[in-house]
């Protein structure tokens, strides 16, 4: 009976993913300006945000350690992918952004981004993870800043970003940076990357490793007393998470014409900073990968509505200013979520597609239970 | 030689400012074991208060520095509000991790709120320059601001030390830091002590912002973030929770930064600060003067 149920779950998920891929291909084939200029860039952005949120969740939600330098790894991934693809282009492996050779280069640069990030994660993780809690947060913040600082001082990366650096005239014309048409054509790459990354992360979390890191999160001393090599598993998770941050960075460099290190700093005006990623993870639920996916998409849509919505212009002056700096809104949302649900909206629970019909009953029973608790 | 002396003097001056800010971090951390990320933004609040109040004080015929009294009051109020509205409710329900995330969020709230208020605005402001006289001794130039910064900071530190050692509230603070439950049993109102600590820490940040803007006359909404991080590094370096440690750490960070600026490159001075932090955390996680306390099971 049980295996039967699992098989049905897998079948439903597979069908859903196949439908998703078909939709992606169909959208990729349609020639429509709204799709090309609005939906496709949004999908790319969602894709790297999802991977970033989920990979940070491995560290923050499952391992229970706050890392504030996650965007540093993303920066490493983005620069690696851009430089690797540029190198191949200079070597004459591909001229135009199509054909098997380019596909191969793209795969190689995305993987290279992940691997270099993971190596850096190892270098950062071994010393940093001897600490925990507050100190770990600060030290990862420091590492994130050092990474960005170093990239700034590497001559061929340059402070102005790759579009104006000495190495390349424009990423847009040569390397991975896609034009709008190419973004549309290659959208399936981004979606496929998300599916693969999420599948790997789910497998990690549900494996022996996942159970071990949850044990470390719940009680480190008890975990080490039961024979778990705590620092080994901490570093492993950190490296694993950095790998995916690197891949997210590669996707970022695919869908942006230029790279600049300011986009990966700890604080900046745009949404791509380490704190925004923390907001996504906490809102979705610390310890819920599906929650991270939903939160990443939701926060992206919210941000999109704030940035592009006409309703903002209709607001009175002060409120309009508030929405010009949307981190204010997100931070307040973060504080409110933490106040009322310290582990995020979904907490540590995951949801599955085939459970959706059961949701009304679950919600009802939840309220029933809390009523009883109130009475008791 | 004169370059060397100059860099030491600049370092001491920067270091005294960092030390004042680091004291606020260290006091709050000592009591509630929370890195108050918003502490850096109290400096920004102080800076803007000074920017607005100094001209008023001058118009009233008082010396400009008296504006710092207003800044201290405003900062202390903001500090207490942050504790009451955000930290206390979260501390009741959540863990250390959620409290830390709240602190980071609070820092972003203050920073972005300041940007959103039109009168404060996103553009940097140039405050009135206080203490602009400069003396020159044997090729080394010392400004009035440097002397005042170093002397006033030293005085404040001594007073603060005596306050925590001798007065009733100061003793209660140390008691709460050592053992919260025991403090409750002894009849100490823990919440009141925590809020007093926030007020004192934020007040120190206001003084630091006066020192800082007399050195770099520019007020901007993001000034707290970087200053706060340096001061935090200083607090960790000296041993978080220890007052003399914060002062020592502040001076070290100030001198290292001014040395990196003078002899290496100003764009790399951040990297050196973080490298020091990382090395110290790896060798002696409790900091130079901190006590290493093992975790009880």
Res. A347 pLDDT band, cuts 50 70 90 = confident
Closest by Cβ to B116, choosing from A221, A328, A330: A328
Instruction: Tell me which residue of B211, B41, B229 sits closest to B120, measured CA to CA.
Output: B41
What is the assigned CATH class of domain B2-283? mainly alpha
Positive or negative: CA dihedral A95, A100, A103, A104: negative
pLDDT at B58: 86
pLDDT in tens, A4-56: 777 887 888 888 888 888 888 887 777 777 777 788 888 888 998 999 999 99
Helix axes A327-340 and A274-284, enclosed angle (nearest 10):
40
Residue A164's pLDDT is: 45
DSSP-derived letter for residue B33 is: -
Measured in residues, chain B has a length of 297
A328–B108 C-beta distance less than 8 A = yes
pLDDT higher than threshold 80 for residue A363: no
Domain assignments of chain B as residue spans, ordered by start: 2-283
Structure tokens at A84: 């690797």
Query: What is the token pair recorded at B272?
Result: 């050196």
At A57 the pLDDT is 92
Chain A nearest CA to B15, separation (Å): 19
ipTM of predicted complex? 0.82
Look at residues B103, B76, B105 and name the one whose alpha carbon lies nearest to residue B87: B103
The CA distance from A331 to the nearest CA of chain B, in Å, is 5
d(CA B210, CA B216): 10
- The CA distance from B19 to the nearest CA of chain A, in Å, is 18
Residue spans of alpha helices (H) in chain A: 2-29, 33-34, 40-57, 70-90, 100-128, 134-153, 180-185, 187-206, 208-218, 220-225, 230-254, 274-284, 289-308, 317-324, 327-340, 359-375
Q: Is A126 exposed, middle or buried (0-12, 13-18, 19+ CB in 10 A)?
A: middle
Q: What is the pLDDT of residue A156?
A: 65
Spell out which residues of chain B touch residue A279, defining contact as CB-CB under 8 Å: 105
pLDDT in tens, A258-295: 777 766 765 554 455 778 888 889 888 888 888 899 99
- Rounded to an integer, what distance in angstroms lies between the CA atom of residue A134 and that of residue A72? 18
Evaluate whether A291 touches A344 at the Cβ level (below 8 Å): yes
Q: What is the pLDDT of residue A68?
A: 84
For the CA atoms of B56, B58, B59, B61, the dihedral, rounded to the nearest 10 degrees, stands at 130
Write down the pTM of the prediction: 0.84
Share of chain A above pLDDT 90, in %: 20
What tens digit of pLDDT does each residue of B236-282 get? 888 887 888 899 999 999 998 888 888 877 767 777 887 888 788 77
| Model confidence at A202: pLDDT above 60 | yes
> Is the Cα dihedral B59, B62, B64, B67 positive or negative?
negative
Higher pLDDT: A177 or A162? It is A177
**CA A67 to CA A59: how far, in whole Å?**
7
- What average pLDDT score do residues B81-86 get? 92
Whether the per-residue pLDDT at A197 is higher than 70: the answer is yes
Residues 206-235 of B with CB under 8 A from A: 222, 225, 229, 232-233
| Tens of pLDDT, residues B107-156 | 888 888 888 887 777 777 887 777 777 777 777 778 888 888 889 889 99
| Domains, chain A, with CATH or none | 2-360 (1.10.3470)
Helix (H, G, I), strand (E, B) or coil at B140: strand
Q: What are phi and psi of A169, to 5 degrees?
A: -70, -50
């Amino acid at each position: 009976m049980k295996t039967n149920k699992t098989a049905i779950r897998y079948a439903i998920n597979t069908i859903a993913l196949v439908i998703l891929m078909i939709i992606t291909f169909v959208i990729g084939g349609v020639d429509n300006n709204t799709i090309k200029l609005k939906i496709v860039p949004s999908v790319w952005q969602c894709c790297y945000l999802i991977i970033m949120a989920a990979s940070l969740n491995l560290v923050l939600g499952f391992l229970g350690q706050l890392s504030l330098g996650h965007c540093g790894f993303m920066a490493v991934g983005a620069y690696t992918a851009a430089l690797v693809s540029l190198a191949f282009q200079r070597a004459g492996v591909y001229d135009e952004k199509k054909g098997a050779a380019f596909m191969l280069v793209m795969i190689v640069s995305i993987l290279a981004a992940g691997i270099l990030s993971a190596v850096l994660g190892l270098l950062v993780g071994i010393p940093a993870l001897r600490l925990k809690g507050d100190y770990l947060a600060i030290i990862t913040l420091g590492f994130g800043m050092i990474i960005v600082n170093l990239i700034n001082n590497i001559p061929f990366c340059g402070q102005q970003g790759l579009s104006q650096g000495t190495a390349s005239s424009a990423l847009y014309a040569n390397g991975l940076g896609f034009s709008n048409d190419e973004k549309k054509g290659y959208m399936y790459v981004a979606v496929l990357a998300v599916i693969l990354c999420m599948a790997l992360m789910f497998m990690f979390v549900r494996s022996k490793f996942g159970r071990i890191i949850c044990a470390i999160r719940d009680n480190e001393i008890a975990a080490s007393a039961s024979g778990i090599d705590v620092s080994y598993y901490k570093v492993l998770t950190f490296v694993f998470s950095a790998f995916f941050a690197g891949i997210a960075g590669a996707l970022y460099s695919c869908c942006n014409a230029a790279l600049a290190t300011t986009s990966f700093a700890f604080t900046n005006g745009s949404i791509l900073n380490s704190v925004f990623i923390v907001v996504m993870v906490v809102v979705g639920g610390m310890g819920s990968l599906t929650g991270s996916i939903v939160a990443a998409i939701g926060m992206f849509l919210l941000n999109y509505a704030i940035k592009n919505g006409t309703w903002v212009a209709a607001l009175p002056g002060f409120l309009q200013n508030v929405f010009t700096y949307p981190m204010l809104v997100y931070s307040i949302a973060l504080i409110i979520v933490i106040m009322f649900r310290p582990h995020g909206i979904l907490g540590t629970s995951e949801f599955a597609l085939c459970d959706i019909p059961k949701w009304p009953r679950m919600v009802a029973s939840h309220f029933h239970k809390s009523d009883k608790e109130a009475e008791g | 030689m004169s370059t060397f002396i100059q860099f030491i003097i600049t370092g001491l001056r920067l270091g005294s400012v960092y030390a004042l800010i680091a004291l606020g971090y260290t006091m709050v951390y000592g009591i509630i074991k929370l890195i108050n990320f918003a502490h850096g933004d109290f400096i920004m609040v102080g800076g803007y208060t000074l920017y607005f109040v100094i001209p008023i004080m001058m118009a009233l015929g008082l010396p400009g520095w008296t504006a710092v009294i207003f800044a201290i009051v405003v900062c202390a109020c903001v500090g207490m509000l942050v504790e009451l509205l955000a930290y206390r409710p979260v501390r009741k329900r959540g863990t250390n991790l959620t409290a830390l995330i709240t602190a980071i969020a609070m820092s972003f709230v203050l920073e972005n709120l300041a940007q959103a208020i039109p009168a404060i605005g996103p553009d940097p402001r140039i405050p009135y320059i206080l203490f602009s006289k400069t003396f020159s001794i044997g090729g080394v130039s010392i400004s009035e601001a440097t002397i005042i910064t170093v002397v006033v900071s030293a005085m404040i530190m001594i007073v603060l030390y005596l306050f925590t050692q001798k007065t009733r509230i100061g003793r209660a603070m140390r008691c709460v830091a050592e053992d919260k439950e025991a403090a409750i049993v002894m009849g100490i109102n823990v919440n009141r002590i925590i809020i007093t600590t926030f007020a004192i820490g934020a007040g120190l940040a206001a003084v630091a912002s006066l020192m800082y803007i007399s050195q770099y006359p520019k007020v901007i909404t993001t000034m707290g973030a970087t200053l706060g991080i340096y001061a935090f590094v200083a607090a960790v370096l000296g041993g978080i929770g220890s007052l003399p440690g914060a002062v020592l750490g502040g001076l070290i960070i100030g001198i290292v930064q001014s040395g990196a600026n003078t002899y290496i490159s100003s764009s790399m001075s951040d990297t050196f600060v973080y490298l020091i932090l990382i090395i110290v955390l790896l060798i002696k996680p409790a900091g130079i003067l901190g006590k290493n306390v093992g975790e009880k099971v």
